Amino acid sequence: MTGLSELLQEGVAGLTLAIPLCDLKEFADYIVAKTKEELLPTLKAADTDPLIPRLEVMRMLGVCANTLRNWRRSKYLEAVLVGAKVYYRTSAVNKVLNEYGKERI
C-alpha cells in the first residue's frame, strides 16, 4: 500500500482520499518532524546572536535616531522587529563598529 507521504512526494494532484485516522496521525507526525528538522538549526543560530535594543545601539554607535532609521531602511544595518520594538543583532552592530574602528562589544 502506498503511504500518503509517498503520494505527496510523487506529486499526485486532484486525488480524493479517505484516510484512516492512524494514517492521518502518521502524516501529521511526519510534517512536524520535517518542520523541526528544517527550522531548529535556524532558531539555534539566532539564539547565539543576542539582540540589542535600538536606544543602546544609538549610544554605542554615537548616532541619532534618524541615522539609525536610514541605515535600517537602506539595509546597511538590518533590524529585527519584535512586535513594535526595533532590535539589532550583536553581529550586525559589531560589523558597523569594525568599519568605524570602534571597540567591539
Map out the domains of the chain as residue ranges.
Answer: 4-47, 51-100
**Which of 104, 60, 101 lies closest to 87 in space, CA to CA?**
60
CA separation, residue 54 to residues 75, 77, 79, 80, 104 (Å): 15, 11, 9, 10, 17
The residues, any chain, with a CB within 8 Å of residue 95's CB and separated by 6 or more, are none
pLDDT at residue 10 in the model: 84
Segment 86-96 mean pLDDT: 92
pLDDT at residue 98 in the model: 87
Q: Please, what sign has the CA dihedral across residues 91, 93, 99, 102?
A: negative
What is the pTM (predicted TM-score) of this model?
Answer: 0.54
Q: Which amino acid is residue 61, in one-letter code?
A: L
Average pLDDT, the chain: 85
- For residue 90, count CB atoms less than 10 angstroms from its CB and return exposed for 0-12, middle for 13-18, buried for 19 or more: middle
- Whether residue 34 has pLDDT greater than 70: yes
pLDDT at residue 39 in the model: 84
Q: Which amino acid is residue 17, in one-letter code?
A: L
Of all residues in the chain, what percent carry a pLDDT higher than 70? 90
